[in-house]
Amino acid sequence: MDLVVEKTSLKKYYKIAFALGVFTIVYNVLEGLLSTHFGYEDESLALFGFGADSFIEVVSGLGIVHMILRIQQKPDSNRDDFERTALRITGSAFFALVLGLASTGIFNLWTGHKPESTFWGVVISLLSILVMGFLIYGKIRVGRQLNSKAILADAECTKVCIYMSIVLLASSGIYELTKFAYADIIGTFGLAYLSFKEGRECFEKARTDKNCSCDHC
């Protein structure tokens, strides 16, 4: 009887983990669409770059959902080819984003370009912090119930998304309040730095079976 209850409980938590993974993908798609739209309309490079990062996270999210299905079937299995490919694609996209943000940021610095507004950067970053906080809490709780190092590591790495949101919030908030000319550019370089770290981590994980290579893991 206890074994049946345990299997039912495990199945329940794997369903929750899968739902959190799917929610992450859907949310990142919506966040990416809104951020790139308002970033383009308001000429905020930091917000546009934040949206581009959200689209990259969709690819990463597909790999995470696949991982959850894999460990549900084989809890002790290692990362498979699908996940490694998703990591390489994600890492390459992050490095391309770094190049785009850095080069455009330097151009904006040279020309003295300033956003029309960063209001939506404040709104979207605040929403992102709340949603990512909820996801981290949910992933940690599920990971502990399943005793899954992979899911717990994913929760830790999700914190990078909060760091990005904080960078966007700081740069957008400062510009909106003070009109400090370089706030958006500084935020852009901050996002580029975090994107570089994420890209490097993706390639490291693709080469190994480590669950997470974040500095804080």
| Residue whose C-alpha is closest to residue 146's, from 21, 17, 24, 19 | 17
Query: Quick check: is 136 in a domain?
Result: yes
Domain interval for residue 49? 2-207
Query: Quick check: is 154 in a domain?
Result: yes
Query: Quick check: is 181 in a domain?
Result: yes
Q: What is the pLDDT along the chain (217 residues), one digit of tens a residue?
A: 444 446 677 889 999 999 999 999 999 999 999 999 999 999 999 999 999 999 999 999 999 999 999 998 888 788 889 999 999 999 999 999 999 999 999 999 999 999 999 999 999 999 999 999 999 999 999 999 988 888 998 898 889 999 999 999 999 999 999 999 899 999 999 999 999 999 999 999 888 876 654 444 4
Query: Quick check: is 203 in a domain?
Result: yes
Identity of the residue numbered 6: E
Query: Quick check: is 217 in a domain?
Result: no
Residue 81's contacts (CB-CB under 8 Å, 6 or more residues apart) are none
Supply 30's token pair: 């919506």
Supply 98's token pair: 């770094």
Query: Quick check: is 175 in a domain?
Result: yes
Total structural domains in the chain?
Answer: 1
What SS3 class is residue 211? coil
Give first-to-last CA distance, the chain, whole Å: 37
Query: Quick check: is 103 in a domain?
Result: yes
Query: Quick check: is 127 in a domain?
Result: yes
CA dist 197 and 163 (Å) reads 12
